[in-house]
Amino acid sequence: MDLTALISLPLGEIISAMTAAYVLCALGLAMHFGYTGLLNFGQAAFAAIGAYGFAIATNDLHLNLWGSLLTGLAASAVFALILGLPTLRLRADYLAIVTIAAAETFRYLMESGEAGAWTGGAEGIDGFGTEFYALNPIPSGVYNIIGLPLTDRQLWADLVSWLLVGIGALFIFFLTRSPWGRVLKGIREDEDAVRSLGKNVFAYKMQALIIGGSLASL
């Protein structure tokens, strides 16, 4: 039995940029459900919107890295508004049903022939990471990380991804311990009581939806 491969292969998945992406989605869900009580089953749609927004802005609109990043985040905020305005007055299972339906509708729409010219249909989009990898300060080569061979591009993507996870976690940590965050926790426990204190519960829910969705888009 090759113990090195047995250890290095799972380790490679643990530290990969894809795993970091899932962690960012989970941080967004922590904001939605963990702190606000929003049972959002459509987080995948926010992640997809961030990816499509970034890729389309890069390949078709020819924006730079930062412009594309802001486009993806702005697209997720617009989606949160469209999704939240008619649904955030719903609670528990009713909100879950609507959000998962919205995510599935978005997926089918992006794979349809109408949107395929922009999204690449079921095959997706590629070739939009050139500027990101051009910022890579790591010398070209293959690096052995605890028995795991990683190219300079993989190492750069992993480092940036986990840096974003760290920033996102700190952002959530401090935000939820602010007066704003304490209102969110009150909404989670009893939104009618919070409303009776004069707080605009709908506005707080919308803000939480946008923030959590933006983390997934990131």
pLDDT tens profile 180-200: 999 999 999 988 899 998 999
Residue 108: the pLDDT is: 87
Residues 157-187 have pLDDT tens digits of 999 999 999 999 999 999 999 999 999 999 9
Cα distance between residue 161 and residue 132, in whole Å: 12
Query: Token digits for 74?
Result: 């702005």
Max intra-chain CA distance, the chain:
65
Number of Cβ within 10 Å of residue 158's Cβ equals 19
pTM of the model: 0.89
Q: Give the Cα separation of 73 and 21 in Å (integer).
A: 15
Burial of 24 from C-beta contacts in 10 A (0-12 / 13-18 / 19+):
buried
Give dist(CA 127, CA 138) in Å, integer.
20
**Adjacent-strand bridge partners of 149:** 144
Number of H helices, E strands in the chain: 10, 2
- In which residue are the tokens 């963990």 written? 34
Look up residue 55 and give its amino acid.
A
Give the model's confidence band at 215: pLDDT under 50 very low, under 70 low, under 90 confident, else very high.
Answer: very high
